Amino acid sequence: MLSKDVRKSIQSSKWENILLEKRGEYTAQLSKNFKDEYRNWNQIIKTVKNDILPQLEIIWQKNLKAAGIYEPYILDDIKFNISTILMLHAYSRYIPMPDFFEKLLSIYASGHIACGWRKGKESGYIQVF
């Protein structure tokens, strides 16, 4: 069962802002330095959302329910984070995936959930459940 702190952290604006900022830094570099390639972003994200995430969502729902921690907001957070990771991977031949997202991927790959940000913006770290 998720603690009150984990629930609050995963839904916090701080966590959401960190994720959006890190993604925005990457897309800003991409749009500045690889304009032609960046034009495909919307088509690729559409493919990710329509073809890949629905298949993964079935697995995630099953595993979250089995662990007794299924909540729609957790699933939404995972979907957003994984779709971002997939997008950055699709563009990694142009700009390497940032360490932040490599760490995020390793958290999910190890069977854990990233559920927030602790400490300061620059010196902080991902909270893991």
Q: What does the DSSP assignment read for 50-82?
A: IIIHHHHHHHHHHHHHHTT---HHHHHHHHHHH
Q: In the structure, what pLDDT confidence band is assigned to residue 1 with cuts at 50, 70 and 90? A: low
- 62: Cβ–Cβ under 8 A, 6 or more apart, which residues? none
Looking at residue 6, its pLDDT comes to 82
Q: Supply the pTM of this predicted model.
A: 0.92
Q: What angle do CA 44, 93, 49 make, to 5 degrees?
A: 20
Mean pLDDT of 94-113: 96
- The C-alpha atoms of residue 43 and residue 128 are separated, in whole angstroms, by 32
Find the DSSP H helices in the chain.
Answer: 4-10, 13-33, 35-38, 41-47, 53-66, 72-90, 99-109
More confident residue, 6 or 98: 98
